[in-house]
Structure 1
């Protein structure tokens, strides 16, 4: 049975996923709000994370998230359950870099074709952690099967976003939703095809509306 690719991301209300876990996790671009998830973390979110990791899976990471994980999880205590799980499973890194992948069980994927071939093989699902640069690529290629979004009630104002530059338009279908006691929205989505558009506008716009559209077209609005 072929694998599925599951994106699991912590987000702010304004769509930022950068450095949820600590101030030194990722300061790229001068990001100054690292650790924003810690103040709202609760047991319900912890249970959601346990659910994600209780099923057989391998990790799919971008290079920078891989480096964050490889510098942290192998050095956690042996009785840490997440560290033990990450040590046991395979870690796949989508990267053009030829830098050594020193974390035991790590494998390089040179491009999306290599990832597509891996996805077509029998094996556990591939779960993405962090790795904001992966999402636009995966959506364009139709490789993403599910999104588990854990959206915290905080606004960050800037930072790396889940749906960054190059994200194609499209629709998603909500398949599950829960709300944690601290107000974290835990929603599961699946891609649902191309974006459909319509209109709530009246069929015969007013003269004032037509003039407004003329200004919009010539850049004076």
Structure 2
């Protein structure tokens, strides 16, 4: 059985969208953490907005300690109802995303999700998340899209690892409570 790993950047007030605010806190610890997650994955699983942002930036980037080469070469599964032309090694998941993603997981795929808040909500709804890594940045934005929306069903997780980087980013790793 494969697994689905989620890596999300959030502020202290839970904002997760357009994370350009992470730049002042970025360091080698975070870069290594993210490269390790990417290296251990078979493919990326992305929502449409994150896919569009990534596919516009990453193909033009130089290799950052192996990250750019890896992210550019690996397969991507993208949940979308609007995109029609897959690029950047992408396969579109257009209908019944929960079922199709569950099938990928059953096929022993190790899928990594970056960003993609709406997708993460759906994965949680279908109990498909195996690891949840929250990188909490020490700032408050006051507005923006929050990671978890009101009205979601309750889900319990166990803390499996936790540390603070030199720049004050808290990296917390969780697994679903069984």
Q: State the TM-score, normalized to the length of structure 2.
A: 0.91
Q: How does 1:65-214 map to 2 (within 5 A)?
A: 65-77=50-62, 79-80=63-64, 81-103=66-88, 105-110=89-94, 111-123=97-109, 125-192=110-177
Point out where structure 2 has 5 or more consecutive residues left out of the alignment.
Answer: none
Deviation digits for residues 164-218 of structure 1 (CA, Å, limit 9, x no counterpart): 244211211000111111111111001115xxxxxxxxxxxxxxxxxxxxxxxxx
Question: TM-score of the superposition, structure 1-length normalised?
Answer: 0.74
Structure possessing the higher relative contact order (Cα contacts under 8 Å, 6 or more residues apart): 2
2:37 pairs, out of 52, 56, 63, with 52
Displacement after TM superposition at 1:98 (Å): 4.3
1 or 2, which has the higher strand percentage? 2
> Does the CA contact (< 8 Å) of 2:136 and 2:169 recur in 1?
yes
- Mapped to 2, the partners of 1:184 and 1:106 lie a distance apart of 31
Deviates more, 1:131-140 or 1:47-56: 47-56
Q: Distance in 2 between matches of 1:153 and 1:108?
A: 35
| Structure 2: distance between partners of 1:172 and 1:126 | 19
Rounded Cα–Cα distance in structure 2 between residues aligned with 1:71 and 1:188: 29
The Cα offsets for residues 79-133 of structure 1, whole Å up to 9 and x where unpaired, read as 3422210122110001122421122x2101122111111111023x100011011
Which of 1 and 2 has greater Rg? 1
Query: Tell me, which stretches of 5 or more residues in structure 1 are unaligned?
Result: 21-34, 194-221
CA RMSD of aligned residues (A): 1.5
Query: Helix, strand or coil: the match of 1:11?
Result: strand
Cα distance in 1 for partners of 2:125, 2:156 equals 13
Return the structure number with greater helix share.
2
